[in-house]
Amino acid sequence: MTATVPPRSKASRTTAPTPADVIKKARDAGVQVVDVRFCDLPGTWQHFSIPARELSEDMFTEGLGFDGSSIRGFQAINESDMLLLPDPATAFVDPFLKVPTLAIVCDIKDPITGEDYSRDPRYVALKAERHLIKSGVATTSYWGPEAEFFIFNSVRFDAQGHEAYYHIDSEEGIWNSGNNSGPNLGHRPRNKEGYFPVPPVDRLQDLRSRIMLALEAAGIAVEVHHHEVATAGQTEIDMRFDTLVRMADKVMMYKYIVKNVCHEHGYTATFMPKPLYGDNGSGMHVHQSLWKDGENLFFNPRGYAGLSDLARFYIGGLIKHAPALLAFCAPTTNSYRRLVPGYEAPINLIYSKRNRSAIVRIPMYSKSPKTKRLEFRAPDPSANPYLAFAALLMAGLDGIKNRIEPPAPMDKDLYELEGHEKERVKSTPGSLGEVLDALEQDHDFLLKGDVFTPDLIETWISYKRDKEVKPMALRPHPYEFFLYYDV
C-alpha cells in the first residue's frame, strides 16, 4: 500500500451513489439482470438474481428476502427469513457474465425487528468504522491488503473413508522440468525463486495483466502486479488502499475477479494459504493507518521508524492480542502449514522497520508523512476480510486506549537469533485449535462498542471447531502411510 495521496477534505469528497444513480447505471449499461451478493460467516460470497425490471428505489429500503438457515454460520431453520438491503456504493457491472448483469453487495437485516444482523460480517466492519469515530482517536482508517494466490493448470482432490489425496499441476511448476509427454521448453522458476524473473520464466504476465484490467474495469485501482516467490504460478496483485468496509468489499471483488479471469482462460486460482509443500505459502499482509482530519496519526519524525506514540501503542495492541486475532486473520487449519516456526514465516511477536521476519513491519520506502503505516504480516487470504480488518482495528484501538507497549523493536533477522535473544522473542500459536482457544479466552477487546457480539464469537469458534478442527483430527493423513504403514 503506497499512501502517496492524502485523504481529500470532506468538502471535496464525491457524494455517495444513490439508488437513483444505481438505476441509471444499470440502464446506461443495458443491464438485464441484477445479482445481489452478500458474505457468509466464513467469508464466501453468496448470491441470487432478479430481472432488471425489478430494480427500484424501494428495493434499497424494503429489501429482498432469503433463507438464512441455508447459509453457513447464520440462522436456525425456525428463524430462517432474512432480508438483504443493497448498498448503492457497491454496484458494478459484472465483467464476466454474458448476459449484462449488475452486481451489488448487500447488508443483512432481520425482517421482524428491522435490526441489522449481528452475524453479518459486513455489519461488523461497519460497526468497527463507527466505533473508531466514536472513540475520538481518529476519523478514518486506511487498509491495504496484499492478497497472494496461486494459479494452477489443474487440481484434483478427494477425501473418502478409504482414500484421500490431492494432485496439483502447473505448466510453470519446477517439477515439470523433466516432463517428456510433449515438447518441454524449460524456463520455470525454481522453488523460492519466482520473485521475479521476466518471461519466459514468468509465464503468467499476460494473465495477470488481464486480471489487473478486469479489476480496474470494476472500479478497483491496482498499484502493481508481479510473480511471487513460489514456483507454479504464485502471484500478487496489489490494490490501492481504501477505508475499512470499502477495502473489505474490494477484497471480495478481487477474489471473485481473480478466480473468474483464470477460469475463462483455462486456469484455476486458489487463495488457500499453503497448497504446496516445500515452497512459500500465500499471505495477506495488511497495511493499516489511522487518520484524523487529513492528518496521518501514525507519523512522528522523532519516533522509531518515524512512528508516533499512538502508532506504537496500536502495535502493542496487535502483538498482545495476536493469538486471538489469528482466529480471524489466519482462520483455517491450512493456515498453520504456513505459520510454522523455523521457516520464513511471520510468526515472531515483534515489530521492526523494513524487516519481513517480524509480525509487524514498518515500510521505509518513503519519508513522506502520508505514507507512514504498519504492515501486519500474519494474516492470509483465507480470512473473511470484514472480520479480519475489524478485529485488527479493535486490537489496535485497545492498545491505544490502554497505552500497551510492544516488545522493543529488533532490526535483526529474527530467523537467525540464538540464545537469550531468541528466547525473548515469542511467537504465534501453531494451530487453528490453539488460536480458537486464545479467542475464547481473549475477546473482550472485540466486544467494545458492540462491534463483535458474543453470539458471533461463539458461533465462529463452534463452527471452526466442529467443521474444520475436529474433522481434520479424525482423518488419517496420506503422509502417515509413508511414516507408519510398516509398523
Q: What does the pLDDT look like over 31-65, one tens digit per residue? A: 999 999 999 999 999 999 999 999 999 999 999 99
Respond yes or no on whether the N-terminal peptide bond of residue 200 is cis (omega within 30° of 0).
yes
Q: Is 375 a catalytic residue?
A: yes
**Of the listed 285, 287, 338, 443, which one is catalytic?**
285
pLDDT(300) > 50: yes
The DSSP-derived string for 100-144 is -EEEEEEEEE-TTT-PBPTT-HHHHHHHHHHHHHHHTS-SEEEEE
Q: Is 163 a catalytic residue?
A: no
Q: Which of 131, 143, 127, 130 is nearest to 401 (CA)?
A: 131
Q: How far apart are CA 464 and CA 485, in angstroms?
A: 30
Q: What does the pLDDT look like over 146-158, one tens digit per residue? A: 999 999 999 999 9
**Of the listed 236, 238, 242, 468, which one is catalytic?**
236
Percent of the chain with pLDDT over 90: 82
Strand partners, 288: 143, 374
Q: What does the pLDDT look like over 343-398, one tens digit per residue? A: 678 899 999 987 777 899 999 888 888 999 999 999 999 999 999 999 999 999 99
Q: Average pLDDT, whole number, for the chain?
A: 92
Percent of the chain with pLDDT over 70: 93
Mean pLDDT to the nearest integer, 472-479: 94
**Of the listed 67, 79, 206, 411, which one is catalytic?**
67
Q: Is 377 a catalytic residue?
A: yes
Q: Is 129 a catalytic residue?
A: no
Q: Is 146 a catalytic residue?
A: yes
| SS3 category, 464 | helix
pLDDT of residue 14: 60
Mean pLDDT to the nearest integer, 120-135: 97
pLDDT of residue 418: 67
Q: What residues have CB less than 8 Å from 19, skipping those under 6 apart?
A: 56, 57, 59, 60, 88
**Of the listed 228, 238, 249, 380, which one is catalytic?**
228
pLDDT of residue 12: 39
pLDDT(174) > 80: yes
Q: Which of 422, 381, 81 is nearest to 256 (CA)?
A: 381
pTM listed for this prediction? 0.94
pLDDT of residue 474: 95
pLDDT of residue 419: 67
Q: Is 373 a catalytic residue?
A: no
pLDDT of residue 77: 63
Q: Is 156 a catalytic residue?
A: no
Determine contact, residues 353/251, Cβ cutoff 8 Å. Answer: no
Q: What does the pLDDT look like over 413-467, one tens digit per residue? A: 666 666 666 677 889 999 999 999 999 999 999 999 999 999 999 999 999 999 9
**Of the listed 356, 405, 437, 442, which one is catalytic?**
356
Instruction: Grade residue 112 by pLDDT with cuts at 50, 70 and 90.
Output: confident
Q: Is 210 a catalytic residue?
A: no
Which domains does the chain show, CATH number per domain? 10-117 (3.10.20.70), 140-484 (3.30.590.10)
pLDDT(7) > 60: no
What values do phi and psi take at 194, rounded to 5?
Answer: -80, -10
- Residue, of 479 and 366, whose pLDDT is higher: 479
pLDDT of residue 225: 96
Q: C-alpha grid cell for residue 103? A: 452486481
Q: How far apart are CA 293 and CA 298, in angstroms?
A: 13
pLDDT(129) > 50: yes
pLDDT of residue 412: 67
Q: Is 413 a catalytic residue?
A: no
**Of the listed 203, 321, 377, 443, which one is catalytic?**
377
**Of the listed 146, 172, 380, 468, which one is catalytic?**
146
**Of the listed 94, 148, 202, 380, which one is catalytic?**
148
Mean pLDDT to the nearest integer, 199-209: 96
